[in-house]
Amino acid sequence: MNNRSTTASFVTAFATGWPEHQPDILVLSLTTNNGVQDFAFSKDQALLVAKTIKETAAKLGKPKTS
């Protein structure tokens, strides 16, 4: 974790939902300038990610407007 880049790739993410044949997981697809990667989460993991994103978003400053 100490060797992390100080710049970030552009990321687009979306949840593909609960797969028809595996209702116990959530698939999250991330698209960056390096390609696409899919991640599978259990319900508990998905809820933790959502909670963390919500808490972090609440701490962000307001967007700059022109």
pTM attached to this predicted model: 0.61
pLDDT confidence of residue 59: 92
Q: Give the number of C-alpha atoms closer than 13 A to the C-alpha of residue 50, restricted to the C-beta side.
A: 11
Q: What is the pLDDT of residues 33-57, one digit of tens each?
A: 778 888 888 889 988 988 998 999 8
Residues 6+ apart with CB under 8 A from 32: 9, 10, 11, 12
